[in-house]
């Protein structure tokens, strides 16, 4: 039998109502949400369960919200004895992947995630930027487009999501110029994304300093299973490399497609998306259709999942 990976979603997977069923059905979830509310200094749980959506979409709220939802589900999977051979997460999801792999604990990592969300939102306000999805060009072609557009402003490839789907990030002028060039070069679709900043671009440098300080203070341990990290798409078990990867990830492209290919190369044939939504399942389906995919977002999905393990 092949290997199992847990994959963890990042920003844009949130939805109003997330985690509410877990809070009611799983006593540990209640404790975890109550801890999060104390750390945040306001009711994060209430925003997750009831909205308003505008509030949940604020980066400083979104990131801790997705992290706690993923952590509650990962805790339940662990209690059921379902253990992965690898973990990986998309951007913010890498923090969930780290904890699920045994490299850190929920209570220590949560404040770092909170800090990351605050710093990224602040950087987005200080240095306004945007992102866009480019469909139908290769990573190399998108890299060329960004270089060509850079005379208008900062713009770089930010997420290598699936074959022919790359997100770009940077200043508003740079990204819009790149969108125009990408259309002229035959991109099937180019769409600006609703984001509060130029994530995974040099415009996040101001956030990187504060995040690095928080990560330096974070106590990590050697994970039980390797984490396939965004910046290199390689499995990592070294505490120092994991720490540096999380720092660099903020201003580097998320190599999601290469990460999935690497896990498949390492004999992973089943993946469980742990946390809200099904964005990653859609991406994996396009990258490696042979992988057996499961979602574990709601309590109902979790009980269905048990029958397959």
- The reply to whether 119 and 133 lie within a common domain is no
Using an 8 Å Cβ cutoff, are 104 and 240 in contact? no
Average pLDDT, stretch 189-200?
A: 92
Q: Which band of pLDDT confidence, cut at 50, 70 and 90, is reported for residue 157? A: very high
- The reply to whether 172 and 214 lie within a common domain is no
Q: Which of 13, 45, 91, 196 is catalytic?
A: 91
90 among known catalytic residues:
no
Using an 8 Å Cβ cutoff, are 10 and 90 in contact? yes
- pLDDT tens for 200-237 read 999 999 999 999 999 999 999 999 999 999 999 999 99
Q: Which band of pLDDT confidence, cut at 50, 70 and 90, is reported for residue 238? A: very high
Listing DSSP states for 244-278 in one string gives HHHHHHTTS-EEHHHHHHHHHHTTEEEEEEESSSS
Q: Please report which helix (H) or strand (E) contains residue 55, including its range.
A: helix 53-56
Q: Which of 196, 211, 238 is the last residue of a domain?
A: 196
How is the beta sheet containing 227-228 ordered, strand by strand? 235-236, 227-228, 86-89, 3-8, 268-274, 292-296
- The reply to whether 156 and 110 lie within a common domain is no
- The reply to whether 161 and 264 lie within a common domain is no
- The reply to whether 81 and 150 lie within a common domain is no
- Domain count for the chain: 2
| pLDDT value for 258 | 97
Q: Which band of pLDDT confidence, cut at 50, 70 and 90, is reported for residue 307? A: confident
3-state secondary structure at position 238: coil
What residues contact 147, with CB distance under 8 A and at least 6 apart? none
- CA–CA separation, 148 vs 77, rounded Å? 47
DSSP count for the chain of H helices, then E strands: 14, 11
Tokens of 221: 């341990």
End-to-end CA distance of the chain: 12
- The reply to whether 90 and 231 lie within a common domain is yes
| pLDDT value for 244 | 97
Q: What's the CATH code of the domain at 266?
A: 3.40.366.10
Q: Which of 170, 196, 222 is the last residue of a domain?
A: 196
- The reply to whether 192 and 211 lie within a common domain is no
Kindly report the average pLDDT of the chain as a whole number. Answer: 96
- CA–CA separation, 175 vs 192, rounded Å? 9
The DSSP bridge partners found for residue 169 are: 131, 156
What residues contact 30, with CB distance under 8 A and at least 6 apart? 23
- The reply to whether 17 and 69 lie within a common domain is yes
- The reply to whether 120 and 145 lie within a common domain is no
Q: Which band of pLDDT confidence, cut at 50, 70 and 90, is reported for residue 31? A: very high
- The reply to whether 54 and 39 lie within a common domain is yes
- The reply to whether 219 and 285 lie within a common domain is yes
Compute CA distances 302 → 32, 76, 305, whole Å: 18, 9, 5
- pLDDT tens for 84-134 read 999 999 999 999 999 999 999 999 999 999 999 999 999 999 999 999 999
- The reply to whether 293 and 213 lie within a common domain is yes
| pLDDT value for 7 | 98
200 among known catalytic residues:
yes
Question: Domain residues for 141?
Answer: 129-196
- CA–CA separation, 185 vs 168, rounded Å? 15
Residue of 113, 133, 116, 126 lying closest to 182 (CA atoms): 133
Q: Which of 13, 45, 90, 200 is catalytic?
A: 200
Q: Which of 179, 196, 213 is the last residue of a domain?
A: 196
């Amino acid at each position: 039998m092949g290997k199992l990976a847990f994959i963890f979603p990042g920003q844009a997977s949130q939805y109003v109502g997330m985690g509410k069923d877990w809070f009611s059905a799983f006593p540990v979830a209640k404790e975890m949400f109550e801890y999060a509310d104390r750390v945040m200094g306001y009711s994060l749980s209430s925003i997750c369960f009831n909205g308003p959506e505008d509030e949940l979409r604020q980066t400083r709220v979104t990131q801790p919200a997705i992290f706690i939802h993923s952590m509650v589900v990962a805790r339940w999977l662990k209690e059921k004895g379902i253990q992965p051979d690898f973990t990986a997460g998309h951007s913010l999801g890498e923090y969930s992947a780290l904890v699920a792999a045994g490299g850190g604990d929920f209570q220590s990592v949560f404040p770092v995630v909170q800090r990351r969300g605050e710093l990224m939102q602040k950087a987005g306000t200080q240095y306004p930027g945007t992102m866009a999805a480019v469909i139908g060009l290769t990573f190399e072609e998108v890299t060329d487009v960004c270089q060509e557009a850079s005379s208008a402003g900062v713009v770089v490839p930010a997420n290598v999501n699936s074959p022919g789907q790359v997100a770009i990030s940077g200043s508003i002028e740079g990204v819009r110029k790149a969108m125009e060039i990408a259309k002229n070069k035959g991109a099937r679709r180019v769409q600006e994304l609703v984001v509060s900043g130029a994530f995974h671009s040099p415009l996040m440098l101001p956030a990187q300093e504060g995040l690095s300080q928080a990560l330096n203070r974070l106590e990590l341990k050697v994970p039980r299973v390797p984490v396939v990290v965004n910046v290199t798409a390689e499995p990592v078990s070294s505490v120092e490399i994991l720490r540096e990867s999380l720092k660099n990830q903020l201003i580097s492209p998320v190599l999601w497609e290469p990460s999935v290919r690497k896990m498949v190369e390492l004999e992973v044939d089943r993946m469980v998306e742990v946390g809200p939504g099904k964005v990653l399942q859609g991406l994996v389906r396009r990258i490696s259709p042979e992988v057996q995919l499961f979602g574990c977002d709601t309590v109902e999905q979790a009980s269905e999942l048990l029958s397959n393990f």
